[in-house]
A and B are shown apart, each in its own frame.
Chain A
Amino acid sequence: MTTDELEQLLARQPVALLHRLARGRVHRHFRAGKRRLIELLLQHSSQNRAGLESDLQALLEVRQSRPEPGGRPTHTPTPSTRKQLPAQAPIPAVMEPAISLTSWLEGIGVPTPQPFVPDPWQLEALSAVGETDVVISVPTGSGKTYVAVEAARRAMEDNRTVIYTSPLKALSNTKYAEFSRLFGSEKVGILTGDRQENGQAPLLIMTTEILRNLLYDAASGEIDVRLDTLGLVILDESQYLADPERGVVWEETIIFCPSQARLLLLSASIGNPQDIADWLTSIRPTTCRLVRHSKRTVPLRAGYLHPNGKLTPLFRTLGIPYGHPSQLHPEAKRLFSEYEEETLPAGRPRR
């Protein structure tokens, strides 16, 4: 390649490529304009022409292999996000065309009824809860209740008392109805501040505050005899541990929970379930077992519905691209920026 040819070839390239080429070759190349940059590159190439040419070829090949030349630079996830999400789905290839609405909507419908088969994590949790304390952190709607019900059933078969706590009275009521249906109403009781329904039943439902009060009463000698036979304490929605006002109640309950009773903490997905498990291990007689699971039982897809009624997928991929929030579907992106432009007063930035 003659110098003239090389100069022309360089002149045809976008300036970004020239900068990449200049990296390490030309000092302070980012300050130079395109023409000056070519000049500097050629000046440099007088010493190592072959190196420059091969690098240029390599860069050109990379560009050509992309679907849309001159498009956005390839999005490569930073190492930090990848480290943070070890078990996530593989990085979706950007080259793949964005999913279409029809294929996004495919598969809607009711599956044919199948006999219930517990998931492996549910079985794992159940086998563990017989021996030790268990912390379960799984996505919403994965079937934590199944574990709670089965664990309660097994404990009751051993003639042990089970306490099930929830953070809200409304949830307590729902669970009371549900458990009464499952176990028969004579086996399920509910405790509130002023009322006891079937307070001698082997399965007691209450809010966490009530249990905390029971434990305090037991600690100070006004013993509730039933705490001796207490075999299992199920704390639902344990992520309330981080509630600014009420979180302390969960801690008190766990600290004062009798050591012969097993703890079963059910929690939605949280970032540090291992910490909770380690904490339980450090204060309880047995090693706490952590059961975590991040895959949803029913896969989730995200969509975008424009105010004019147009529906498009939200992401380029069919499922949720975990760890890649910027992989928006081009159509969704276009519609949303249109929406922002039209609804926001001109010139005012969001927030």
Chain B
Amino acid sequence: MPPSIHPVDLITALRHKHLTPAIVFLTSRRACDEAMEAFDHADAVLPPVRQEAIGAALERVITQYPSIAEHPLIPIVQRIGVAAHHAGHLPSWKIAIEELMRQGHLDAVFATTTLAAGVDFPARTVVITQSSIRKSRDFTDLTIGEVQQVAGRAGRRGKDHVGFAVITPSPYIELNVLTKGLTGHPEAIDSQFTISYPMVLNLLKAHPHEHIQGILAKSFAQFQLNQRAELIQRKLDQVQTQLEPFGPRVCTDWITQWQTFDQVRKRHPSRHPAHRSESPEIVARLAFLTPGRVVGLSKGRGIVLRQYRSKGQKNSMLTMLRPDGAITECPVTSVREVYDRTYDCAEIPSYPWCSTESFDQLSEQLEDLPPRLPILPILTAPSVEPLPDAVVQSLGDFPCPTCSSRPACQKDFPTASRLRQEQHRHMKSIQALRTSLWHRFQERVDVLQTFGYLTSTAQLTADGEWARLIRIDHSLLITELIRAEAFTGADPSLLAGIMASLAHDDDRPGAFPRISPGLSSLLRQVRKLAESLSPHEDPPLLRADVAALAERWIAEPTLTWIGLCRLTTMAEGDIYRLLARTIEFLSQVQTLKATHPGLADSAAEALALIRRGVLEELP
């Protein structure tokens, strides 16, 4: 059986059951493209009337977005009435497909799951072939919300009586994820509040430092933290009611008092235990003197067969196998060296302490040992600190031994102390929940102070005043670059190249052979700075190939879109997104007109150059 249904068969089956138009969700862009290729030789061709309708509809879109007039997929879409729609395509092409779908000209669209969130065009049927999606680098199961978002595309209001979600297996499917997703209740959402450097700067610009905590308290994050704190508060209340019977006795805070008493009592035992005077060196060795270990004794070597304690002996004892096959007993103290060599030893619980085979084996191995063996370095644990004399002596002064409520305290102490500990734990966690956002804010403030964007009183410095206008990812790196004057005199194409490599966060491989020396040296500088900032901000990917691509697009105004696409293996849609993100970053730099006119002009120039061809069609 094929691992999954052939796309042509799939569409035929759907058409046959009148389940079209359909959106087929596939795992990857490549799967979508391959599904389209599968139709190359299929004989399922649309009747001419419908082909013409598609052509006419496409014409209308093309008048608005001329860049897709020559799109290589047009003929096949027109011929078979099926299209692919994924992030590798140009936005204008995606708009065209959406438009065709909305007007009902297409029978099916192969799409990646990102579509589910990206646009809204419904169909009669959605076909689901996977139960997990690629998130950052690995695959995770679809959540209930995501399954419902995908399935929600089925059934067009006013055009369908019912919608269908059809599951078809592929190697990427796990049925129970999908059935749970279809029948389940969507997950609760949680706040993902993070405190970024620009947020800190902008907040401090508009509000005095002491008001910030109140503003952070308005976040959904704090709302949810408070919800959790309330739960703990309820538990705390319970603990407190449980603690009520253990109120003040002879001493007001008898629990603490008893705790101290108990501690001292434990550390100052009334009876001396049988004291084994083993030095720390010997104690540290004990763990290594296991059966099979080779050790050096005053005369020759031996292999440890067992370790034991004997009542009559002060020290731990060892049973040793000696070179002549003799089994001897000796105290641990007689061991001179512990070697870094152990042999397998099948232990048995009685003489001769190991099985006959391993006894023979060990005897042989002992004979064959080389004259020199590496010595195992054994670190000694520092000896336990003796209790401060003051505490020991104060035991006599404790009221507890003579106190009238001692028996009662002794009886209640375990419960009371457990409750007390619980109470403290809850109080601490509530405190942490209430103040964690503020602490995170303070951490950011500290960093910004060390970099000189904020004064010690948390006022914006001159640098802070303009730095707050850079409100994008990697803002600290960008502002530090500007302060390091990395862009001084750089022409628009270099600036755009760096911005592109900062903006691009996709690690899909792409290749571009040449990079100009100016850009490459600038990029090296950026990398160095990014690395030095990595404790404070995650470094960007800083890919050289995307930087070069953006640089070329701006440096050569005659370069056409198709020419640009030929320079790299990146998909059209990815290049578009790269340049669109670059525009975003550049437009942030452009806002620094007042303080960095040269840089802002350069950014404006780059923006003017970047906006041409395909990039001009959409705002």
Give chain A's interface residues, CB within 8 Å of chain B.
Answer: 84-85, 105, 107-111, 113-114, 116, 139-141, 143, 145, 167-171, 173-174, 176, 190, 192-195, 197, 209, 212-213, 216, 219-221, 237, 239, 241-245, 247-248, 251-252, 254-255, 268-272, 275-276, 278-279, 282-283, 296-309, 311, 314-315, 320-326, 328, 336, 339, 342-343, 350-351
A113: contacting residue among B10, B158, B174, CB under 8 A? B158
Residues B619 and A322 in contact, CB atoms below 8 Å apart? no
A276: contacting residue among B155, B159, B220, B587, CB under 8 A? B220
Residues B619 and A195 in contact, CB atoms below 8 Å apart? yes
Complex CA–CA separation, A275 to B18 (angstroms): 42
Complex CA–CA separation, A275 to B95 (angstroms): 36
Complex CA–CA separation, A216 to B2 (angstroms): 56
Does B175 have its Cβ within 8 Å of any Cβ on chain A? yes
Other 4 A-B pairs with CB < 8 A, given A108-B124, A270-B145: A192-B619, A220-B468, A305-B166, A307-B1
Residues A302 and B182 in contact, CB atoms below 8 Å apart? yes
Residues B189 and A325 in contact, CB atoms below 8 Å apart? no
Residues A299 and B163 in contact, CB atoms below 8 Å apart? yes
Known: A105-B17, A108-B162, A305-B127. A270 touches B183 (CB 8 A): no
A339 CB, nearest partner CB in chain B, Å: 5
Which parts of B89-126 form the interface with A (CB within 8 Å)? 91, 94-95, 98, 117-120, 122, 124
Residues A174 and B157 in contact, CB atoms below 8 Å apart? no
Residues B183 and A322 in contact, CB atoms below 8 Å apart? yes
Residues A168 and B169 in contact, CB atoms below 8 Å apart? no
Chain A residue at smallest Cβ distance from B590: A194
B140 CB, nearest partner CB in chain A, Å: 12
A303: contacting residue among B91, B164, B223, CB under 8 A? B164
Which B residues touch A245, using CB under 8 A?
192
Which A residues touch B584, using CB under 8 A?
192-194
Residues A307 and B218 in contact, CB atoms below 8 Å apart? no
Which parts of B490-538 form the interface with A (CB within 8 Å)? none
Residues B2 and A307 in contact, CB atoms below 8 Å apart? yes
Residues A241 and B189 in contact, CB atoms below 8 Å apart? yes
Residues A193 and B583 in contact, CB atoms below 8 Å apart? yes
Give chain B's interface residues, CB within 8 Å of chain A.
Answer: 1-5, 9-10, 12-13, 17-19, 91, 94-95, 98, 117-120, 122, 124, 127, 145, 148-149, 151-169, 171, 174-176, 179-180, 182-194, 196, 199, 202, 205-207, 215, 218-221, 223-224, 227, 468, 471, 580, 583-584, 586-588, 590, 607, 611, 618-619
Residues B171 and A241 in contact, CB atoms below 8 Å apart? no
Chain A residue at smallest Cβ distance from B618: A173
Complex CA–CA separation, A309 to B491 (angstroms): 59
Known: A282-B223, A301-B163. A336 touches B583 (CB 8 A): no
Give me 26 A-to-B residue pairs in the complex whose CB atoms sit less than 8 angstroms apart, sorted by A's number: A85-B185, A140-B152, A141-B120, A141-B122, A141-B155, A141-B156, A170-B118, A171-B119, A174-B98, A192-B584, A197-B619, A219-B206, A239-B145, A242-B189, A244-B192, A248-B193, A252-B199, A270-B189, A296-B152, A296-B163, A302-B164, A307-B2, A315-B183, A320-B182, A325-B176, A343-B1
Known: A141-B153, A311-B17. A306 touches B168 (CB 8 A): yes
Chain A residue at smallest Cβ distance from B3: A343
Chain A residue at smallest Cβ distance from B151: A300
Residues B183 and A324 in contact, CB atoms below 8 Å apart? yes
Which A residues touch B167, using CB under 8 A?
302-305, 314
A191 CB, nearest partner CB in chain B, Å: 8
Residues B169 and A339 in contact, CB atoms below 8 Å apart? yes
Complex CA–CA separation, A308 to B10 (angstroms): 9
A303 CB, nearest partner CB in chain B, Å: 4
Which A residues touch B163, using CB under 8 A?
296, 298-301
Which B residues touch A141, using CB under 8 A?
120, 122, 152-153, 155-157
Residues B202 and A220 in contact, CB atoms below 8 Å apart? yes
Residues A271 and B188 in contact, CB atoms below 8 Å apart? yes
B587: contacting residue among A145, A194, A237, A283, CB under 8 A? A194
Known: A105-B17, A197-B619, A301-B163. A268 touches B152 (CB 8 A): yes
B109 CB, nearest partner CB in chain A, Å: 15
Complex CA–CA separation, A85 to B158 (angstroms): 29
Chain B residue at smallest Cβ distance from A307: B5
Chain B residue at smallest Cβ distance from A267: B189
Chain A residue at smallest Cβ distance from B152: A140
Known: A84-B185, A251-B221, A279-B220. A296 touches B155 (CB 8 A): yes
Residues A237 and B189 in contact, CB atoms below 8 Å apart? no
Chain B residue at smallest Cβ distance from A252: B199
Complex CA–CA separation, A171 to B167 (angstroms): 27
Chain A residue at smallest Cβ distance from B159: A110
A220: contacting residue among B187, B206, B215, B618, CB under 8 A? B206
Chain A residue at smallest Cβ distance from B577: A169
Chain A residue at smallest Cβ distance from B154: A300
Complex CA–CA separation, A261 to B66 (angstroms): 40
B583: contacting residue among A194, A297, A307, A311, CB under 8 A? A194
Which A residues touch B122, using CB under 8 A?
141
Complex CA–CA separation, A255 to B199 (angstroms): 12
Complex CA–CA separation, A150 to B196 (angstroms): 36
Complex CA–CA separation, A243 to B189 (angstroms): 9
A259 CB, nearest partner CB in chain B, Å: 12
Which A residues touch B153, using CB under 8 A?
140-141
Residues A170 and B91 in contact, CB atoms below 8 Å apart? yes
Complex CA–CA separation, A143 to B152 (angstroms): 12
B34 CB, nearest partner CB in chain A, Å: 16
Closest 7 CB pairs of A and B: A140-B152, A298-B155, A271-B188, A247-B192, A242-B189, A193-B587, A272-B188
B1: contacting residue among A143, A168, A325, A339, CB under 8 A? A339
Which B residues touch A324, using CB under 8 A?
183
Residues A298 and B166 in contact, CB atoms below 8 Å apart? no
Known: A111-B159, A139-B148, A342-B1. A301 touches B164 (CB 8 A): yes
B200 CB, nearest partner CB in chain A, Å: 12
Chain A residue at smallest Cβ distance from B189: A242
Known: A300-B163, A303-B167. A270 touches B587 (CB 8 A): no
Complex CA–CA separation, A19 to B176 (angstroms): 31
Of residues A167, A269, A326, which shows the largest number of chain B Cβ atoms within 10 Å of its Cβ?
A: A269
Of residues B169, B180, B199, B611, which shows the largest number of chain A Cβ atoms within 10 Å of its Cβ?
A: B169
Which B residues touch A197, using CB under 8 A?
619
B94: contacting residue among A170, A239, A296, CB under 8 A? A170
Known: A108-B18, A219-B202. A242 touches B117 (CB 8 A): no
Which B residues touch A276, using CB under 8 A?
189, 220
Complex CA–CA separation, A57 to B185 (angstroms): 40
Complex CA–CA separation, A81 to B271 (angstroms): 59
Chain A residue at smallest Cβ distance from B216: A255
Which B residues touch A110, using CB under 8 A?
159-161
Which A residues touch B127, using CB under 8 A?
305
Chain A residue at smallest Cβ distance from B608: A194
B238 CB, nearest partner CB in chain A, Å: 23
Which B residues touch A84, using CB under 8 A?
185
Residues B160 and A279 in contact, CB atoms below 8 Å apart? no
A107: contacting residue among B118, B161, B166, B176, CB under 8 A? B161
Complex CA–CA separation, A61 to B336 (angstroms): 81
A25 CB, nearest partner CB in chain B, Å: 37
Which B residues touch A351, using CB under 8 A?
174
Complex CA–CA separation, A21 to B489 (angstroms): 90
Residues B189 and A173 in contact, CB atoms below 8 Å apart? no
B437 CB, nearest partner CB in chain A, Å: 11
Residues B1 and A301 in contact, CB atoms below 8 Å apart? no
Known: A141-B157, A269-B145, A300-B165. A325 touches B13 (CB 8 A): no
Known: A169-B580, A244-B192, A325-B180. A268 touches B161 (CB 8 A): no
Residues B152 and A251 in contact, CB atoms below 8 Å apart? no
A71 CB, nearest partner CB in chain B, Å: 20
B203 CB, nearest partner CB in chain A, Å: 8
Which A residues touch B188, using CB under 8 A?
270-272, 275
Which A residues touch B98, using CB under 8 A?
174
B156 CB, nearest partner CB in chain A, Å: 7
Residues A168 and B118 in contact, CB atoms below 8 Å apart? yes
